[in-house]
Structure 1
Amino acid sequence: MIHSTYYPPKPIHLSGDRVELVPLVPDHTEALAEAVQDGELWKLWYTNIPEPESMTVWIQKALEEQEAGLSIPFAIIRKEDSKLLGTTRYMNIEKDARRLEIGTTWYSKSVQKTFVNTECKLLLLEHAFETLGCIAVEFRTHFMNSTSRKAIERLGAKLDGILRNHRISKNGTLRDTVVYSITKEEWPTVRGNLLFKLGKPQV
């Protein structure tokens, strides 16, 4: 069995060619409130994206979960202009199994379906498998969120199943949660696919 001295994950700065993931802090409140208004993301009924005026409380809760060892939240920054584009996190961290989820991810509407998600996922997955020694990484989304499901599938993640009546959505409806994962054995192929999408050499 492989053991990693870096697991469970700690707050860390992950830097790529065009984006960087930095530990979420209260100072990101104003920029995140601005980012979420690009597309009025909180109006998507099948997501749990915060409204601009709720961002302070939302960040506070994320940091409380980090303190409890439940998640590691990041702010996503575009390097060319230091603009904050959204947020993501490691969550549902299983300390013994070295398995976690990448989730609570949202980006400003103007950068969706661009290199941003691809590079963010490359950074997060690379750190999870190659530094943390994860055996699998999960992705979960609402059954009705076809955009998110397609994005997860494009990464190369495989469908594990559907958790029916898994959550109560913010509008009171019951959520069926679709679960995907990438295993450590699949990671080299997924990594090659992500590098190809970014136009980078397969090294």
Structure 2
Amino acid sequence: MLLTDPITLQNGWVALEPLSHEHGDDLAAATEGLEYAWYTSAPTPAGIPAEIDRRLAWQAEGHMNPWAVRRLSTGRVVGMTTFCNIDQANRHVEIGYTWLSPSAQRTEVNTAAKLALLGHAFDACDAIAVELRTHFHNRQSRAAIARLGAKQDGILRNHRLGPDGTLRDTVVFSILPHEWPAVRLGLRERLARR
């Protein structure tokens, strides 16, 4: 299976559904109450249609595989996530462009979504590396990525320009195939305690 193949991924907590405009109303509702920290970006309710268009365009170019995140306990779509920076020839992918509604943050949703995404990447797509990246100043995201069991590879200094012209240092983490069994076990244990 290819990293770019649209597919629904599901476990006992979430369903990751190939992103479409049919998810628009739930996604717009999910953005309500999001804190827009200067180092993160999430769409506004009015920006959801354009964000879906952007992700679908990147999918058509082969760079992204986007999903809507449905929380099974409520049946509601509570955010988005993607495979991005897809390098199929080298079986390398990044999990990113993820945001979740405030109601889904610090719940089982992110852990379950990462379990589904990592399982698909390693078990179905034979990935040799899965990368996760975040802004240096996004300490909450850095801590969450480390809790997954990802190892920090380094920091890309002055990696990007922000919308306001500030320079972003990007922290790069990765998980390799031989680390996946322990990471999977850790994710399952965290979900079992919820």
**TM-score of the superposition, structure 2-length normalised?**
0.96
Note if contact 1:9-1:132 (Cα within 8 Å) is conserved in structure 2: no
In the other structure, the counterpart of 1:66 is 59
CA distance in 2, matches of 1:80, 1:179: 32
Note if contact 2:3-2:65 (Cα within 8 Å) is conserved in structure 1: no
In the other structure, the counterpart of 1:188 is 181
Deviation for aligned residue 1:110: 1.8
In the other structure, the counterpart of 2:167 is 174
Deviations 1:83-135 (A, max 9, x none): 11101000000121100000001111122111111110000000100000000
CA distance in 1, matches of 2:189, 2:169: 32
Matched, 1:103 2:87: no
**Secondary structure at 2:66 match in 1:** strand
Matched, 1:25 2:3: no
Unaligned runs of 5+ in 1: 1-5
In the other structure, the counterpart of 1:80 is 73
Matched, 1:40 2:34: yes
CA distance in 2, matches of 1:170, 1:30: 26
In the other structure, the counterpart of 1:14 is 9
Letter in 2 for 1:172: G
**Secondary structure at 2:28 match in 1:** helix
Deviation for aligned residue 1:48: 1.9
CA distance in 1, matches of 2:111, 2:73: 17
Superposition map of 1:48-59 within 5 A: 48-59=41-52
Deviation for aligned residue 1:171: 2.4
Deviation for aligned residue 1:65: 0.5
Matched, 1:115 2:108: yes
Deviation for aligned residue 1:80: 2.8
Tell me: CA distance 1:72–1:30, structure 2 relative to 1, closer, same or farther (3 Å): same
Tell me: CA distance 1:10–1:189, structure 2 relative to 1, closer, same or farther (3 Å): same
Superposition map of 1:118-133 within 5 A: 118-133=111-126
